[in-house]
Amino acid sequence: MVDYKNAGVDIDAGNEVVRRIKGLARKTFTPGVLSDLGSFGGLFHAAAAGLRDPVLVASADGVGTKLRVAFMTGVHETIGIDLVNHCVNDILVQGARPLFFLDYLATGRLDPDAAVRIVEGLSRACVANGCALLGGETAEMPGFYADGEYDVAGFIVGAVERGCVINGQSISPGDLLIGLPSSGLHTNGYSLARTIVFDRLRLRVRDRVEVLGRTVGDALLEPHRSYLHVVAPLLDTGFVKGMAHITGGGITDNLPRVLPEGTTAVVRPGSWPMPPLFDWLVREGDVPFDDAYRTFNMGIGMILVAAPEHADAMIARLRASGETGALVIGRIASAAGDARTVRYER
């Protein structure tokens, strides 16, 4: 006899995961949630956003090969935090605050304990960001993933007043770039980092690196920051002309996404303290400058653009919100045609 379980799909294990994560999801529920976990679709009352003319902002993303480090260490709780915070930052750059979040977890053979630990991270991050974990999907796909491996994706919806959408169109030459520090690699550059750490240096996740002050695994699994709480006090001031979340592509490819035609960004490496992790990776991997700044965030996880007359007030508000590392890292300059590039002044 061949049944579904013998074919590799354990429905009972899936039901056990759902049972255990219901409480984690309910912890995140906000007044806008109108459904419980287990419905075919999650219900959310848009009026709960409290906006007169709301614009919905949606995004989807994953964690990339940072998952490999989670597999190697057996630490799965931080992956959910990474996923939520990455998505929150992606909609924050357009001025949106999060409303609800959904996740997708795919694996070859479902490990209920690992799945619950992932959702524990999702739940904790959703609570911290005031975002409801409205639902999700757990897919057991034998033959697609090796035992102990999985992939995760996140989907977020937020809202912003139509008149408060931040799109970068008012950015002009002379504006200043304000950088906010990252907490590490965040969720990008891991293919290069893993090549340097595990292939070139032949280190193991539990090896301690003195210059980092911790193990390789701890350094690489440092969770992706959410910038919501430090940036939120600025959203209604009108001071923020544009924002860039520094993810895949680094500063080089992400900052131009918010620039209008006829402008270029001039960034000054060395104007911010470089975290030891990036110095170490670049040195040990002999990574060329251009590759480093197009692969890693290099210690800057978010960049805000402001007029010179507003920059000091913005930095003061950021520091009052707990962001003590905010500082000016460059400026906007004129460019011929539709350049929209980043130039580094070293």
pLDDT per position as a tens digit, 108-119: 999 999 999 999
**1 burial type by CB count under 10 A (0-12 exposed, 13-18 middle, 19+ buried):** exposed
Residue 3 located in a structural domain = no
With respect to residue 2, please indicate whether it lies within any of the assigned structural domains.
no
Q: Are residues 26 and 149 in the same domain?
A: yes
Q: Is the pLDDT of residue 6 over 60?
A: no
Strands (E), the chain: 54-62, 97-107, 132-140, 150-161, 176-181, 208-209, 214-215, 242-245, 263-267, 300-306, 327-334, 342-344
Tell me whether residue 106 is in a domain.
Answer: yes
1 falls within a domain:
no
- CATH number reported for the structural domain that contains residue 151 in this entry: 3.30.1330.10
Residues with Cβ < 8 Å from 309, sequence gap 6 or more? none
Residues 231 and 288 in one domain: yes
| Cα dist from 146 to 4, 68, 113, 143, whole Å | 18, 12, 17, 7
Residue 38: its pLDDT value, please? 81
Which range, of 2-11, 64-73, 74-83, 283-292, averages the lowest pLDDT? 2-11
Q: pLDDT tens digit string along 230-267?
A: 999 999 999 999 999 999 999 999 999 999 999 999 99
* pLDDT per residue as tens digits for the range 298-313: 999 999 999 999 999 9
Among 164, 194, 214, residue at a domain's last position? 164
Q: What is the mean pLDDT of residues 80-104?
A: 98
Question: Is residue 160 domain-shared with residue 187, that is, in the same domain?
Answer: no
Name the domain count of the chain: 2
Looking at per-residue pLDDT, the higher value among 6 and 192 belongs to 192
Position 13 scores a pLDDT of 74
In the prediction, which pLDDT does 2 show? 53
Mean pLDDT of the chain: 94
pLDDT for 5:
67
DSSP 214-237: EEHHHHHTPPPPP-HHHHGGGTTT
Which is nearest to 338 in space by CA: 255, 241, 260, 254? 260
Residues 190 and 299 in one domain: yes
Q: Is residue 42 situated within a structural domain? A: yes
Binned at pLDDT 50, 70 and 90, residue 16 comes out as confident
pTM of the complete model beyond 0.75: yes
Same domain (yes/no): 60, 154: yes
β-bridge pairing 327-334 and 300-306: unpaired
Percent of the chain with pLDDT strictly greater than 90: 89
Strand partners of residue 58 = 157
Whether residue 170 is contained in a domain is answered as: no
223: domain CATH number is: 3.90.650.10
Same domain, 146 and 194: no
* Average pLDDT of the residues in 311-328: 96
Q: Quick one: 298 and 338 in the same domain? A: yes
Domain coverage including residue 103:
11-164
